Structure 1
Amino acid sequence: MTNAIDPILVTVIQRRLKAITEEMGLVMLRTARSPILSEARDFVTGLYDARGQMMEQTAYIPILAFAVPLGIKYMVDYYGDELYPGDVIIHNDPFTGGNQAADVKIVRPIFAADRLIGFSAINGHQADVGGAVAGAYNPGATEIWQEALRITPVKLYEKGRKRQDVWDLVFGNIRFPIVQEDIQAAIGGCAVGERELGKLVERYGWERFDAHLQHLYNATEQQMRAEIRAIPDGTYHGASIVHYDGFNVGSTMDIKVAVTVKDEDIHFDFTGTAPQTPGYVNAPLGSSMTSVILTLLMCLKDPNIPQNAGMVRPLTAHIPEGSMLNPRFPAASTFGNHLSDQISAAIFDALSQALPERVTAAWNPLFAIAAVGTNDRTGQPFVDILFNGLKGGGGGTQGADGYDHIGLIACGGGLLAQDPEMFEMKEPLFLHRFEYMPDSAGPGQWRGGLGVEMEMEFLNGGNLISAFGDGIDPGSEAQGILGGGAGILNRGELRYPDGSVHKCRSKEVVSGIPKGTRWYQVAGGGGGYGDPRRRPAELVAREVCYGYVSQQSAEDNYGVVVNPRTLELDHAATEGLRKEGKA
């Protein structure tokens, strides 16, 4: 029988699909111009079937990944029979399946003979997408048109022919020429996906390939359902807080979730979450659903579940329209990707009641800046998100400390810090300091990951920064869980040549920054997991010696005394302090 399922072939196809998406990623890394893409890897590559369902992906940045099927499904309905070999579609609209407007999808339909068999897609964060503020982060925006050029699906190429009028219209509304070059890199990466998927289908024949693909979906679904069955049935409630909507100083917004597990299905209900804000501190539905999926995956035992359509079948969610996690058109929502910090914290809070051994404490909430200006060496504009300074620590979990300097949870460790030398070669910026921050991690039996401090100098004048994030206001630091302590607050300030200092709010644009100004930033650590007094005293003493933990913090938080001269553990004093319960 031609379509009899060969389990070995199912695995071969799954691994080949994965390899194709990795090849697509290599094209981006080798050909993209912006360091946001070529060094920080702020993109995702994927293959999708003819209905827009995910076949496989390489999620360098998970928050960009799971929203892509929503956009492609919209394109399938939008174009209907008007998809052709050689088409290239561009899309960024949060209200038709996109996530952050700066995350621009390039999509190529893939055909075998005259049959549409799927799509290749790359979703990447672009250096600019128009709007009122260069670099896309406009904390003063109250509607999408103030944030970006809203690109609903449109063909840059049709039947292999470039639509120059459409190309000029799109890029005539985007500031930086480098964006065109990066879009060309994405088009090339998608061409690799198109070519290699076509070869795979040709090798096995469409019917046999599709039968094995559907079996792969079903097998993945069963793996996911088995994971959910291991979670005790029940409804578990969690919450977190978002600080400052960009307009009302001191404002806070609640995120609430009820996670219901029944047999082998799981449902996330965000009823009670704050209504949409007046500014850009809202998450489009794609960003919110992606945050739910990536957080759940972190709580499962099997890290090797294939990432395809079967994985999400047992998962449903209710995110009320008009809430800050599903705002109504035409709300601003550029900040939405970064609400993954608080969405994840709320879900971890809920699932800690059912899976205390699987959740992590909160990760450091993102605080970042986009630096924009003109490079005097080249005469060209530049924009850079200073990834080195924004990567705080991950949360601790049972059996493991949080990752040091890992960055926001939405990136899953895929977001890399720029190489300092390459950073200074490309941009008119100079790094004076970039190192781990002592005492930044939340104390715990398993501590949070360490954050960092960075100091960077502007070598040109007339610059602008757009600050975006959270974790600056008291109470917004990464919280501990199950007895663990919190990480430290984020911090960012401009130190001007005249000696004055401007402390940045968590959402703010500052322009006219003169040459010689220094940007100083602290990214806090992750929250701790479990009672710090249960952390091995020898390990705490070693970290004092390394400079990760101060002697005072060792005593106050862990009940560990270290000899100030030899930096060796004082066993007697430590035993006495821990008995007294002063830690």
Structure 2
Amino acid sequence: MPQLLSVDPSNYKDAPTECIRRILEKVTGRAIPKSEKLKLDQVESIRMGTTVSTNALLERQGERCALITTKGYRDVMKIGMQARPSIFDLSIKKLAFLYEEVVEVDERVTIETFAQDPNPQPIDVEADTALTRGVTGDIIRVIRKPDLEVVKKQLEELWDKGFRSLAIALVHSYTFTKHEELIASLAKDRGFSVSISHQLQPMIKIVSRANSATADAYLTPVTRRYLESFGEGFEGGIDAFGNKLLFMQSDGGLCTWNNFSGLRAILSGPAGGVIGFTRTCYDETEGVPLIGCDIGGTSTDVSRYNGKLEHVFETAVAQVIVQAPQLDINTVAAGGGSRLFYRNGMFIVGPESAGAHPGPACYKKGGPLAITDANLVLGRLLPEHFPAIFGPNEDEPLDVEASRKLFTEMAEKINSARGVTQDKLSIEQIAAGFLQVASEAVCRPIRTLTEARGHESSKHHLVMFGGAGGQLGTGIASSLGISRIIIPRFSSILSAYGMSLADVVSEIQEPTSLNLGHDVSSAIKDRFAQLENTGAGRLSAQGFSSKSIRFERYLNCRYQGSATQLMIAQPEDQDFTAAFIAEHQQQFGFTLQDRAIMCDDIRVRAIGVSGISDINSPYADFKKASLTPFAGSQYPAKKVFFEGPGYLDTAVVRLDSIVSGNQVLGPAILFDTTQTILVEPGYIATVLSEHVLIDLHTPPAPPAALDPEHVDPVKLAVMGHRFMSIAEQMGSILRQISISTNIKERLDFSCALFSPDGGLVANAPHIPCHLGAMSHAVRFQANLHGDTLEPGDCLLSNHPSAGGSHLPDCTVIVPAFHQGKIVFWTAARAHHADIGGMAAGSMPPFSKEIWQEGAQIKSFKIVKKGVFDEAGVKFHFYDEPGKYPGCAGTRTLADNISDLKAQIASCHRGAMLIESLVQQDSLEVVQFYMAAIQRTAELAVRDMLRTIYKKHEGKPLQAMDSMDCGAEIHLKIDINPETGGATFDFTSTSPQVYGNLNAPTAILYSGVIYVLRSLLSVDIPLNQGCLLPIEIILPKGTILSPSEDAATVGGNVDTSQRVTDTILRAFQACGASQGTCNNLTFGYGGQKVDGKQIEGFGYYETIAGGAGAGPSWQGQDCVHVHMTNTAIGDVEIIERQYPVIIHEFSQRVGSGGAGKFRGGDGCVRDIEFTRKVDVAILSQRRAIAPYGMCGGEPGAKGVNQWIRKTEDGVVRLINLGGNNECVMNAGDHIIINTPGGGGYGLPDDVSDVGEKYASPQGLLSRANGFLASFYNQQNTN
């Protein structure tokens, strides 16, 4: 089998064509010149995957294209979901958009009804000519039809500018397709290649569809050109292939080349690997679920299989939302080419990669150290059995000396940093350490992937494949507690082999809006039949007979009022309702008995069976095999280094010399022409006809005792991953068991580990306003209770004076005991949807006293010796808040109890995992490395502060900023250059206000730790160490240290932003960002009239603005900043759920402050209400503009306006100010203009300015399935 580098332009134009040429030479026995076109007469089928689309997307090298969208939404892709991609990146670099130009068409439709209406009334569609029904059955109001003559002129202008590829995405086109079809028809007539959003994936969410349509318009022409170029190597060109040429799609199905599109090609390569391991390794009779690890050159692709392929339908690749069916594959930045670094006393693997060119150091092209070099130096690879395709001329073997040379240089650096008092590390110890860190880097997301869906990692078997899979399997399995590793016969080329096993698939999906509780079975059956006829027709045209076509049926379901959808495969009894309930219970740990189950989409996969089907099960083969020890080998034993014993004589065995049933006891290296498999000591390999099984044979020896006096950099890195993994697993449990939307869907929570004194060790996810605050809550409880707590006790707190942020954020705190002593703490803070008070949602815009904001709990033992105190919860959440005038107890007590139990379970899970870690490594070691990780962060901050001291020549750093009410925040920072410590003095800050803008002291600490982490240029563990160099001086009674009875709900969302602006101003880091969250609420109902509660709804959102410019960057437009990163609802979902029409959500052009680097622009959000509602706005920077820095001009102030239609028909424009509440009638608008960011540098010095949109650099994940979605949601709060 030919083995070629994927890119080698000096030796061949295209690797797949060259492979086919060499295969044909072998088959025909005739030399075929590279210049000769290949004949297809002896080719039965060519099945391929390609990274052409993926690379074009990641590298931004696609086709010039334009986007056509609804008026008011030209910035739909720029704003997206308004969250910034990286929380701690002040420059907020986004990748360039795929389109070059946007054209707005003056058309508009909306949904006539709204799902949250508690008293829906029947509507006569025939009585109003503006009404019609959409594909989903929803009633559509056509507000404006497009003027087609105007559209023609717009298309002509695009044509004259050279555009030939268009994307069309209009609001609500997933259900009302007519306007897109009209515009598409005109565009096609003019000669454009057109990507139409509702045809590509007819699912709700305009942001996702617009991204997907633009991605298709951007990628499909590139894909087509590649196909034509590939065809040039064959007689007759691409058209000569007919149905012989099949391409793998992202969903795991093949399609003919002429049906292959860029949008569905993004996971073309890794999808083959998933099909490969699922078809070759899963046994339906055994039923053991599998975790697949495809370890390639730059990364590892992780997936899970339990009898059916798992798909996701919306992912983000290189900051582009792709709405299309894709296998649930998750990329981890660790592969054979992942680079190795020593930073801040820690071993770091990736995410940077050596790539295929120049590749690792051993490729002899001047590349850096990588994982492959570590394996080679340790003797785990066999260079003499690798093809000679390395070096400048692609004709040399792997070079172990090149690897050893760079490891020797690294060893000198590491040993010098460790000092003379510690034993020197050999290059073998260093290389083995990096492999251990790499294995742990892969294990951490696997734990999250499985645990977040209610599965235990240890109950899976591990399938290893890819170029580096055979070398890392035992290390990963050992860390995960997995007892069996399966390596398929073609493990190194399983992605390619998987394509030979795959079937041709046609996906058909349509949106709907069905209540499964109603009698809709016949309607669903008819829709399935229609879709199956469509799929069968497509496959029949490709030569498939009806006997070779099968169908898979799915419904995309959710509970009414929830956005969490589950794609449910049709069960044998065809009871989709029962299947949905069972799957919801499995994944989330609960069901909602009183909620209707809604179906949003009907989906059919039409499958033309065409792949290889006679594959032996590894489990069946193992059971019937005659197991015998393998004796002897034609190769001499090799010295291989293993952590612990060092060098061991290791058997080297060629796989084709072993018969099925032979067993090889480790240590051993098994190899053939395509793979190298390491069997570590303590494991036994069983060779079968088509697999190698590696099972744990003897328990591993306990690790050598670690020196508690000196830090081992390998253990430091591994422990960092372990601590973060525990926090992430806590988060998985909380999300899985919780019931409220805030926690389950918005992930408005944080889980964390703390040292015995309450110092932060690891925190996940990172919600900025929780970062420094939670340790205050833990310390308060630790000091309050002392040694009186016992195992089984859990504490609850939310009060600002006890380390809380604002009252809805409730914190459960659990002491972790070992031998009767508290050795760690775990805590989970979560935002509860309601905890009582004067307003539904417990975030009143005009609260003056804290009791108006709901339940106040300084310390409550919610669980005592394992017994949950439900009566106490009712007292604190319902009885006590309701005693105050004008206030009520919680309106969601059942949800509160369920979510608190989820938080308790999360904390107990963390405590259990800590105990497991202590049992494995000893308490002394675990706590030593806990302190060491905090020390790593501390040293990084101290070094940074020393650098800042030199930059400012030792001068004190001072700043002042004001709230719109006139309250001032004053700060003076003094840095000690000797220690690297600093004093943050907030003396002269204004007294607390009679309002709700008071910020608890814990919020101040969150702002400090956020800024310090953001100023660091390197990635460090985020923990209490960041604050250890800082002393904060803060007089009592200020707006940042209010009294216990002060209202604080606005301090958490707005004053927190002013805190960060003030600190950044003192450091002269950047211009001010928008400085507010722009909190908007609207709704009605909730109050009681004549003793009867009025049913209604409530809605809350925060709105993005402009980011401040900095010394080397332009401020980003339309993005959330600093202490929040909340995603905003898609217009199509909001209009379906609530009585609103969002006429505009766009960039507020020109609102960013001028400067050498201009501040980012804010947003314009124009919302019309279609019924009477209560509206409240809580915002800042309406009176005081966001400052500019170093001569830069301030950003524009925000403006809140009410377009009010009076009863006599007069329309008035009313300025609402920064904070207000009012009743708006049907036809009224609220228009929110959010602030811009401050500029940086003098406006007349505009040379060498930075770009807002970056060129792709480093590793960008191609496969972002469920796991990436989980992490992204963690960062959007």
Fold shared, TM-score > 0.5 on shorter chain = yes
The alpha carbon displacement at 1:165 in A equals 0.6
Task: Summarize the Cα distance change of 1:494–1:266 in structure 2 as closer, same or farther, 3 Å threshold.
Answer: same
Do structure 1's residue 305 and structure 2's residue 1028 form an aligned pair? no
Partner residue in 1 for 2:1035: 320
Residues 1:237 and 2:953 aligned together: no
Deviations 1:272-291 (A, max 9, x none): 11122122222121112222
In structure 2, the residue matched to 1:504 is 1216
Task: Give the Cα–Cα distance (whole angstroms) in 2 for the partners of residues 507 and 541 of structure 1.
Answer: 32
Paired residues of 2:754 and 2:762 also in contact (CA < 8 A): yes
**Correspondences of 1:200-349 after superposition (within 5 Å):** 200-232=917-949, 233-244=954-965, 252-263=966-977, 264-302=980-1018, 304-337=1019-1052, 338-349=1054-1065
Q: TM-score w.r.t. structure 2 length?
A: 0.38
Q: Hey, what does 1:247 align to over in structure 2?
A: none
Matches within 5 A, 1:94-493: 94-172=800-878, 173-177=889-893, 178-232=895-949, 233-244=954-965, 252-263=966-977, 264-302=980-1018, 304-337=1019-1052, 338-352=1054-1068, 359-366=1069-1076, 367-374=1078-1085, 382-387=1097-1102, 390-411=1103-1124, 414-424=1125-1135, 427=1138, 429-458=1140-1169, 461=1172, 463-473=1173-1183, 476-493=1184-1201
Aligned pairs for 1:54-69 within 5 A? 54-69=760-775
Q: Are the aligned partners of 1:60 and 1:415 in contact in 2 as well (CA < 8 Å)?
A: no
The alpha-carbon distance between structure 1 residues 101 and 532, as it changes in their structure 2 partners (threshold 3 A), is same
Q: Partner of 2:995: helix, strand, or coil?
A: coil
Rounded to whole Å, the distance in 2 between the matches of 1:18 and 1:368 is: 32
Shift of the 183–493 alpha-carbon distance from structure 1 to 2, 3 Å rule, reads: farther
2:49 matched to which residue of 1? none
Where does residue 14 of structure 1 map in the other structure? 720
Q: Distance in 2 between matches of 1:21 and 1:404?
A: 33
Cα distance in 1 for partners of 2:1245, 2:868 equals 64
Q: Deviations over 1:534-558 (max 9, x none)?
A: 335999999xxxxxxxxxxxxxxxx
CA distance in 2, matches of 1:541, 1:283: 32
Give the direction of change, closer, same or farther, for the CA distance of 1:451–1:29 in structure 2 (3 Å limit): farther
Question: Residues 125 and 541 from structure 1, CA distance in 2 versus in 1: closer, same or farther, beyond 3 angstroms?
Answer: closer
C-alpha displacement of 1:324: 1.5
Q: Deviations over 1:485-505 (max 9, x none)?
A: 222222223444544554323
* Residue type at the aligned position of 2:1039: M
Q: Give the Cα separation in 1 of the matches to 2:850 and 2:1045.
A: 6
Query: Take 2:1083 and 2:741, find their aligned partners in 1: how far apart are those partners?
Result: 13
The amino acid of 1:236's aligned partner reads L
Pair 534,124 (structure 1): closer, same or farther in 2 beyond 3 Å = farther
Q: C-alpha distance in 2, partners of 1:420/1:86? A: 46
Higher relative contact order (CA 8 A, sep 6+): 1
Q: Would you say the 8 A contact 1:391–1:406 is kept in 2? A: yes
**Superposition deviation, residue 75 in structure 1:** 0.8
Contact 2:1190–2:1242 under 8 Å retained in 1:
yes
AA partner of residue 533 (structure 1): D
1:25 paired with 2:731, answer yes
Aligned to 1:555: none
| 3-state SS of 2:1065 partner | helix
1:237, 1:7 → 2: CA distance? 38
- The whole-number CA distance in structure 1 between the counterparts of 2:984 and 2:896 is 37
Q: Report the CA distance between 1:448 and its aligned residue.
A: 1.9
- Structure 1 residues 139 and 421, CA gap change in structure 2 (3 angstroms): closer
Indicate the residue corresponding to 1:549 in structure 2: none
Q: Which amino acid aligns with 1:468?
A: L
> Would you say the 8 A contact 2:1115–2:1252 is kept in 1?
no
Distance 1:540 1:97, change over 3 A: closer
Flag structure 1 segments of 5+ consecutive residues without an equivalent: 245-251, 353-358, 543-583
Q: In structure 1, what is the Cα distance between the partners aligned to 2:713 and 2:826?
A: 25
Where 2:1231 maps in the other structure, the secondary structure is strand
The DSSP-based 3-state class of the residue aligned with 2:1123 is helix
Aligned CA distance change for structure 1 residues 453 and 38 (closer, same or farther; 3 Å): farther
Determine the structure 2 residue equivalent to 1:545. none
Contact 1:39/1:416 (8 A) holds in 2? no
Q: Tell me the SS of whatever aligns to 2:956.
A: strand
Contact 2:1113–2:1252 (Cα < 8 Å) also in 1 = no
Q: CA deviation at 1:327?
A: 1.7
How many angstroms apart in 2 are the aligned matches of 1:196 and 1:541? Answer: 43
Q: 1:82 aligns with which of 762, 769, 788?
A: 788
Distance 2:935 2:1022 in 1: 12
Shift of 1:429: 4.7
C-alpha RMSD of matched pairs (Å) = 2.9
Higher mean alpha-carbon deviation, 519-528 vs 488-497, is at 488-497
Secondary structure at 1:534 match in 2:
coil
> Secondary structure of 1:409's match?
coil
Per-residue CA distance 1:448-476 (angstroms, 9 max, x = gap): 22322222344554x43332221112xx2
Deviates more, 1:187-196 or 1:167-176: 187-196
Deviation (angstroms), 1:343: 2.1
Q: 1:472 to 1:538 in 2, by over 3 A?
A: closer
Per-residue CA shift, 1:70-126, capped at 9, x if unaligned?
Answer: 111111122223333343322110112212222221223323453322222222333
With structure 1 as the length reference, what TM-score do the two structures score? Answer: 0.81
Query: How much does 1:516 deviate?
Result: 5.0
Contact 1:63 1:287 in 2 (8 A): yes
Cα distance, 1:179–1:223 mapped onto 2, change above 3 Å: same
Tell me the amino acid that sits aligned with residue 944 of structure 2: E
Shift of 1:532: 3.0
Matched-pair contact (CA < 8 Å) for 1:44–1:61: yes
Structure 2, unaligned stretches of length 5 or more?
Answer: 1-704, 879-888, 1087-1093, 1254-1277
Checking the alignment, whether the CA contact within 8 Å between 1:52 and 1:119 is kept in structure 2 is yes
**Partners of 1:441 and 1:450 within 8 A in 2:** yes
The percentage of aligned residue pairs carrying the same residue is 25
Larger radius of gyration: 2
Distance 1:59 1:477 in 2: 32
Which digits, 9 at most, give the CA deviation of each residue in 1:136-168, with x for residues without a partner?
333433321122221112122223322111122
| Cα offset, 1:11, TM superposition | 1.3
In the alignment of these two chains, the number of paired residues is: 517
The residue type equivalent to 2:1045 in the other structure is P
The AA in structure 2 aligned to 1:451 is G
After superposition, residues 554-573 of structure 1 pair within 5 angstroms as none
Which letter maps to 1:11?
A
Match of 2:755 among 49, 54, 71: 49
